[in-house]
């Protein structure tokens, strides 16, 4: 598999102050799920059909993290999030460019992100939504979270041979009191168990970043250090 690697400067780091965000990237329309899963330990992630690995000058804070789903037990606060969302129904469907999903994503981005955050500008076009969250080089599903039939959250996940990989999660800003982001991770863990998978890959953990603190609350967990997964309680 030959790819053309290129370096991209994205400006300010979205996680830590006074840092610069630089990635090595390449494009692929398709890739074996097993190959992509192996790449996760080396810090590769994807956005649509673009694969990227952080190469920020003087910084190696972005650390891949995953949860062993069979061993996970929710904390007291996570159990509260489960109870708080007892009226939520969840369905896994194929990702689609539909008005309901796009409108929720647009409201979420406008409420939660600055223009430079993770390729999600405040004024998102349907084409950007399609490229970022619908077009995928691997098997991807969208988990729809509903209350009384109303869409309140969407989580995009990649189905890999040994685990699920969280791609992105968006929720209705008016429902922020529900802690839907925490709830969605627990539902992804449940789905991974149901599918007989071993891991839920949560992307990067960044020590010292308030935006990433929630990932540190899931135990046990494993971090990838120099391409090798290491267990942490």
Query: Residue ranges of the chain with pLDDT lower than 70?
Result: 1, 114-122, 233
Q: What is the CATH number of the domain that holds 196?
A: 3.40.630.30
> Burial letters for 173-199: b for 16+ Cβ neighbours within 10 Å, e otherwise?
eebeebbbbbbbbbbbbebbeeeebbb
Is residue 1 one of the residues assigned to a domain? no
93 in Cβ contact with 142 (< 8 Å): yes
The verdict on pTM exceeding 0.85 is yes
Domain of residue 84, residue span = 64-232
pLDDT for 117 equals 43
Same domain, 119 and 209: yes
Same domain, 57 and 73: no
| Residue that is last in its domain, among 38, 62, 86 | 62
What residues contact residue 210 under an 8 Å CB cut-off, 6+ apart?
Answer: none
Same domain, 97 and 209: yes
Same domain, 54 and 148: no
Same domain, 21 and 56: yes
Same domain, 211 and 174: yes
Same domain, 13 and 126: no
| Residue that is last in its domain, among 62, 79, 105 | 62
Percentage of the chain exceeding pLDDT 90: 91
Beta bridge partners of 221: 232
pLDDT tens profile 89-144: 999 999 999 999 999 999 999 998 754 444 444 578 999 999 999 999 999 999 99
């Amino acid at each position: 598999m030959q790819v053309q690697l290129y370096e991209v400067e994205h400006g300010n780091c979205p996680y830590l102050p006074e840092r610069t965000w630089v990635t090595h990237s390449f494009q692929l329309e398709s890739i074996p799920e097993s190959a992509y899963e192996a790449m996760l330990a080396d810090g590769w992630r994807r956005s649509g059909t673009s694969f990227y690995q952080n190469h920020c000058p003087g910084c190696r804070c972005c650390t891949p993290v995953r949860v062993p789903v069979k061993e996970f037990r929710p904390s007291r606060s996570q159990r509260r999030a489960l109870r708080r969302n007892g009226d939520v129904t969840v369905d896994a469907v194929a990702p689609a460019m539909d008005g309901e999903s796009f409108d929720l994503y647009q409201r979420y981005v406008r409420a939660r992100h600055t223009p430079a955050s993770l390729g999600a500008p405040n004024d998102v076009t349907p084409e950007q939504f399609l490229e970022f969250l619908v077009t995928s080089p691997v098997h991807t599903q969208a988990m729809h979270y509903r209350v009384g039939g109303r869409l309140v959250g969407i989580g995009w996940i990649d189905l890999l041979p040994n685990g699920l990989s969280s791609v992105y999660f968006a929720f209705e800003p008016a429902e922020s009191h529900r802690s839907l982001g925490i709830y969605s991770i627990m539902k992804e863990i449940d789905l991974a168990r149901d599918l007989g998978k071993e891991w839920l890959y949560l992307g990067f953990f960044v020590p010292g970043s308030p935006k990433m603190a929630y990932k540190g609350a899931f135990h046990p967990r494993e971090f990838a250090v120099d391409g090798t997964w290491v267990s942490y309680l």
